[in-house]
């Protein structure tokens, strides 16, 4: 893409079919380096608010915060309010124009969902099971798109996202999901679906756009380096959060 919006017709067709697209070279290497340095400084000493690995209950996570690795940050929260550089990428013109092409209207940035920096640490990073982000979100319509910014290489070794293309348009019986709304991997119909999964390999500066109903997962970070990935979620002005829910806790922000 070289820092330009994909051909709208091609992008809409790919996104409608797969539930995701990748924008290449949206951020330059200097931007990535500045952000990595700032975020690394916010990890030690920790600048909250943050979610910790022990809070997740995911496979490989410490059982409580006092356990070894229990105080390992998993996410730096409220990313948009943390720094001008994070606000700049959250409202990046290239991403905003692509989102508008996919959503059909100017995007609003939700301050309630994602709006964080994923901080996948070596050693104590947990695996994330197969899920849809919309499972805990409350909007008029399940039509939101998230933007995942790669500040460094994202590979299988350091826990890159894996996706199951096309699952954003599929209907799933409740019995195919566990109590926390993750796919049940022991079911044959889910096994055949998971076999279609593929990792999304990203280079520094790339951005993954993915639908809120797309099933995705991530492995553990087995490299010696922390993986830092700012993530923001967008919706249109006519797709309202349901009053009284977590999705309506903070106002959304014009992203362009």
Q: What is the CATH number of the domain that holds 108?
A: 2.60.120.620
Domain membership of residue 86 (yes or no) is: yes
Structural domain boundaries enclosing 21: 8-254
The neighbouring-strand residues paired with 211 are: 145
Buried b (16+ CB within 10 A) or exposed e, 57-69: ebeebbeeeeeeb
181: left (phi over 0), alpha (psi -120 to 50) or beta: left
pLDDT at 58: 73
Q: How many domains does the chain have?
A: 1
Domain membership of residue 159 (yes or no) is: yes
Distance CA 191, CA 196 (A): 9
Domain membership of residue 48 (yes or no) is: yes
Domain membership of residue 3 (yes or no) is: no
Note the pTM of the prediction, 2 decimals.
0.94
Domain membership of residue 94 (yes or no) is: yes
Domain membership of residue 1 (yes or no) is: no
- Residuewise pLDDT in 10s, the chain (256 residues): 344 455 678 889 999 999 999 999 999 999 999 999 999 999 999 999 999 887 877 766 777 787 777 788 899 999 999 999 999 999 999 999 999 999 999 999 999 999 999 999 987 777 899 999 999 999 999 999 999 999 999 999 999 999 999 999 999 999 999 999 999 999 999 999 999 999 999 999 999 999 999 999 999 999 999 999 999 999 999 999 999 999 999 999 999 7
């Amino acid at each position: 893409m070289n820092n330009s919006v994909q051909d709208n017709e091609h992008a809409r067709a790919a996104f409608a079919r797969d539930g995701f697209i990748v924008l290449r070279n949206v951020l330059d290497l200097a931007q990535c380096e500045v952000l990595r340095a700032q975020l690394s400084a916010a990890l030690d000493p920790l600048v909250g608010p943050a979610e910790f690995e022990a809070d997740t209950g995911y496979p490989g996570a410490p059982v409580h915060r006092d356990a070894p690795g229990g105080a390992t940050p998993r996410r730096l929260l409220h990313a948009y309010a943390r720094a001008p550089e994070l606000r700049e990428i959250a409202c990046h013109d290239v991403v905003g124009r692509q989102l508008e092409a996919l959503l059909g209207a100017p995007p609003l940035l939700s301050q309630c969902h994602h709006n964080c920096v994923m901080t996948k640490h070596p050693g104590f990073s947990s695996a994330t099971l197969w899920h849809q982000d919309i499972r805990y979100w409350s909007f008029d319509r399940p039509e939101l798109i998230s933007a995942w910014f790669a500040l460094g290489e994202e590979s299988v070794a350091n826990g890159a996202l894996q996706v199951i293309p096309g699952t954003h348009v599929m209907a799933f019986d409740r019995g195919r999901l566990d109590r926390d709304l993750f796919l049940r991997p022991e079911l044959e119909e889910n096994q055949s679906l998971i076999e279609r999964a593929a990792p999304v390999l990203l280079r520094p500066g790339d951005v993954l756009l993915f639908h809120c109903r797309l099933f995705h997962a991530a492995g553990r970070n087995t490299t010696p380096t922390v993986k830092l990935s700012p993530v923001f979620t967008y919706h249109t002005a006519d797709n309202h959060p349901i009053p009284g829910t977590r999705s309506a806790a903070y106002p959304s922000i014009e992203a362009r």
